[in-house]
Amino acid sequence: MTNQIELSGVNKHYGAFHALKNINLSIAKGTFVALVGPSGCGKSTLLRSLAGLETITEGELKIAGELMNNVPPRKRDVAMVFQSYALYPHMTVEENLTYSLRIRGVAKAEAKKAAEEVAATTGLSRLLKRYPRELSGGQRQRVAMSRAIIRHPKAFLFDEPLSNLDAALRVHMRKEIRALHDRLHATSVYVTHDQIEAMTMADHVVVMREGVIEQQGQPLDLYDKPANKFVAGFIGSPAMNFIPATVNEDGKSLSLDLGTIRQKVAIDHQLQPGRKVTAGIRPEHIGTTGAGQGSFDVPIAVVESTGSSTFLTAATTPELTIVETGRGKVHAGETIGLIVESSQLHLFDQTSGMRI
Ligand SMILES: Nc1ncnc2c1ncn2[C@@H]1O[C@H](COP(=O)(O)OP(=O)(O)O)[C@@H](O)[C@H]1O
Ligand SMILES: [Mg+2]
């Protein structure tokens, strides 16, 4: 299958600032890709480069097999959907939808028909005569998407489109956007700083930091096998626990350094005795039991319940976060036993942060 979008060796400089560093990314037709990372890592710059709103400094950018480096935005045949919707306030929904067709010379009746068809797909049929100010946030977002859909672009580019919506609507719109993507057999690139959004919506997740792609792959592969400590800490909520550790003389176990607690745990592979590593374990992978019955005992400082799950904070150095489903019976101030299994440990080199 040909790739709909292909970036090779892409670099972007804003003056002296190096915003994108050697980006290599292939997006197959029909794929939903999420670009995720902390604020300022270059997500919007990458998306805007695809749209042609930024010029890349180095490398190749292809859309549907054609080199796009010097092609102006309107000739790239991609559609961008923004957080701010960017609707024309003095135009009705229908006029907002037909505008891009009309300026390209599509006849009025034909444009109207196209608007009606798209509106039927996005649930806007009854709202075509309204003005943006007469719509809810979710409805405006749908207009913004419809305006992209009506052009049948080669790719949809989304830049944090749900950030302005409240939590419940955001969860709803995630599903709606994904369903629309599936129905249209679209190719979508979706920028978000929210790893849950990325994980739940995308087929392929690209994790960025400081202009670099740290890792890309299927959502659960990133969760199961993060390539480095950054990705391990970024994907998953609450975040993975990181514990400094030293490989023991036998090379088959670690000594975890939890402040006053030194705990030996077995590891699955043979490592150089004395090697400094970081042991990672997800809060949901630590088991709990009564004091004296687990791998080791810890005092619990904080207990927080959301109703469906309970978050425990162990008073160790570093602190450990443990998540249990259900209500749990532990109270703050109690000492409990923790169960840590070697198969649940992620090991990272302490210096490079790379997965071992
Ligand atoms: N026009 C610009 N001129 C100079 N620096 C910019 C410009 N646009 C973005 N940057 C810088 O590039 C980096 C990446 O920005 P951006 O792509 O907007 O990040 P993100 O979308 O991931 O939050 C940031 O450090 C930002 O300050
Ligand atoms: Mg941005």
Kindly state whether residue 194 falls inside one of the protein's structural domains: yes
Residues 40-67 have pLDDT tens digits of 999 999 999 999 999 999 999 999 999 9
Ligand 1 in reach of 44 Cβ (< 6 A)? yes
- 172 lies in the same domain as 306: no
- 253 lies in the same domain as 202: no
Query: How many domains is the chain partitioned into structurally?
Result: 2
Ligand 1 in reach of 49 Cβ (< 6 A)? no
Give the pLDDT score at 1: 55
- Residue with the two structure tokens 């490989």: 247
> Could you write out the DSSP letters of every residue in 166-228?
-HHHHHHHHHHHHHHHHHHT--EEEEES-HHHHHHH-SEEEEEETTEEEEEE-HHHHHHS-SB
Kindly state whether residue 111 falls inside one of the protein's structural domains: yes
Q: Provide the residue range defining the domain that includes 96.
A: 3-234
- 106 lies in the same domain as 180: yes
Q: How far is CA 139 from CA 6, 125, 126, 271, 296, in A?
A: 33, 11, 11, 56, 53
- 200 lies in the same domain as 278: no
pTM of the model: 0.93
Ligand 1 in reach of 17 Cβ (< 6 A)? yes
Kindly state whether residue 354 falls inside one of the protein's structural domains: no
Alpha helix ranges (H) inside the chain = 43-51, 93-102, 108-122, 137-149, 167-184, 195-201, 219-224, 229-234
Give the pLDDT score at 93: 96
Which ligand has the nearest atom to the CA of 16?
Answer: 1
Mention every residue, 6+ apart, whose C-beta is less than 8 A from residue 341.
285, 287
Using the mean position of ligand 2's atoms as its centre, give its distance from the Cα of residue 54 in Å.
13
Residues 187-223 have pLDDT tens digits of 999 999 999 999 999 999 999 999 999 999 999 999 9
Using the mean position of ligand 2's atoms as its centre, give its distance from the Cα of residue 301 in Å.
37
Residues 275-317 have pLDDT tens digits of 999 999 999 999 999 999 999 999 999 999 999 999 999 999 9
Kindly state whether residue 266 falls inside one of the protein's structural domains: yes
Identify residue 105 by its one-letter amino acid code. Answer: G
Ligand 1 in reach of 20 Cβ (< 6 A)? no
Measure the CA–CA gap between 124 and 110, rounded to whole angstroms.
18
Q: Which of residues 198, 217, 234 is at a domain's end?
A: 234
CB atoms within 10 A of CB 222: 26
Of all protein residues, the one whose alpha carbon is nearest to atom 14 of ligand 1 is 42
Kindly state whether residue 99 falls inside one of the protein's structural domains: yes
Q: How far is CA 114 from CA 66, 286, 323, in A?
A: 28, 54, 50
- 49 lies in the same domain as 191: yes
Nearest to 155 by CA among 2, 3, 1, 4: 4
Q: Cα torsion for 197, 199, 204, 208, to the nearest 10°?
A: 70
Ligand 1 in reach of 19 Cβ (< 6 A)? yes
Measure the CA–CA gap between 17 and 277, rounded to whole angstroms.
33
- 107 lies in the same domain as 142: yes
- 249 lies in the same domain as 215: no
